Amino acid sequence: MRFDVLTLFPSMFEAVLGESIIGRARSRGIITLNFINIRDYSEDKHRRVDDYPYGGGKGMVMQPGPIYNAYKSVVEGLEYKPKVIYLTPQGKVFNQAMAKELAKEKHLILLCGHYEGVDERIIEEIVDMELSIGDYVLTGGEIPAMAVIDAVCRLVPGVLGNEESFKDESHYSGLLEYPQYTRPPEFLGRRVPEVLLSGHHANIEKWRKEQSILRTCSKRPDLMDKILLKEKKEQI
């Protein structure tokens, strides 16, 4: 799977996406990440990419021209149109179901805004989808883009060692994951639940399922309500 990120700060990305699981997937050729500096596509002699908002007001707005040129440099010569995602606090709030859908794409372009955001006309011209990572405002789209890339990439086949490892995870089925334990069997007087030491796979599976339901009810009752509503709808 390929990602092209249009950003004013390409150097922010390597520290996060050059390491660990995503870094390994890149060196194995499963994932390709390109970070394109929008400033390189400015036609201004001072490489300017932003300007004052028409109508007045605080802050600067990213001009459409350099973003469009950067976008063109990615899509030129392609025989398909990659989906373009603008990271913005005005977008739909990103979740695991969206990550699952996006992991089916072969190529995504992510646009990171900065300052007051981007000129509306570039959104109209090239953007297919607007995604937010939550109802709060960050200084730029780089952290949201990294979050989306990380969440999507780990669902791409071959990125995680064992495909099963994300299927039990929180949000995959709608429930939160059961509690996890590792050695030692006792820590500060707290013992690992006996069932996990029993080696009885059916009992372990049953316990984990119950724990998933219990903790979803206590930590995220809103998710449990969604699951119950979905089940009710399916019965109708």
* Helix/strand/coil for 119: coil
User: If binding is defined by CB under 6 A, does position 95 make contact with ligand SAM?
Assistant: no
Q: Name which of 180, 164, 165, 171 is nearest 219 in CA terms.
A: 171
Stretch 137-176: interaction string toward ligand SAM, x if CB under 6 A: xxxxx--x--------------------------------
3 forms beta bridges with 33, 108
d(CA 101, CA 87): 17
Output 119 or 176, the one with its CB closest to ligand SAM. 119
User: If binding is defined by CB under 6 A, does position 134 make contact with ligand SAM?
Assistant: yes
> Contacting ligand SAM (CB under 6 A), which of 105, 116, 168, 177?
116
> Contacting ligand SAM (CB under 6 A), which of 4, 6, 33, 114?
114
d(CA 140, CA 87): 9
d(CA 113, CA 135): 16
Shortest distance in whole angstroms from residue 95 CB to ligand SAM: 13
For strand 129-132 and strand 190-191, is the pairing parallel, antiparallel, or unpaired? unpaired
| For helices 221-235 and 201-219, angle between their N-to-C axes, nearest 10 degrees | 110
Number of residues that bind ligand SAM (CB under 6 A): 19
Output 9 or 172, the one with its CB closest to ligand SAM. 9
User: If binding is defined by CB under 6 A, does position 54 make contact with ligand SAM?
Assistant: no
Q: Name which of 128, 215, 122 is nearest 168 in CA terms.
A: 215
Shortest distance in whole angstroms from residue 115 CB to ligand SAM: 6
Among the listed ranges 46-54, 127-135, 183-191, 205-213, the one in contact with ligand SAM (CB under 6 A) is 127-135
User: If binding is defined by CB under 6 A, does position 129 make contact with ligand SAM?
Assistant: no
Output 82 or 113, the one with its CB closest to ligand SAM. 113
User: If binding is defined by CB under 6 A, does position 90 make contact with ligand SAM?
Assistant: yes
Q: Assess contact for 172 and 133: CB atoms under 8 A.
A: no
Alpha carbon 198 to its chain's center: 37
| For helices 20-27 and 142-153, angle between their N-to-C axes, nearest 10 degrees | 70
User: If binding is defined by CB under 6 A, does position 88 make contact with ligand SAM?
Assistant: yes
User: If binding is defined by CB under 6 A, does position 110 make contact with ligand SAM?
Assistant: no
Q: Which residues bind ligand SAM (CB under 6 A)?
A: 87-90, 112-114, 116-117, 132-134, 136-141, 144
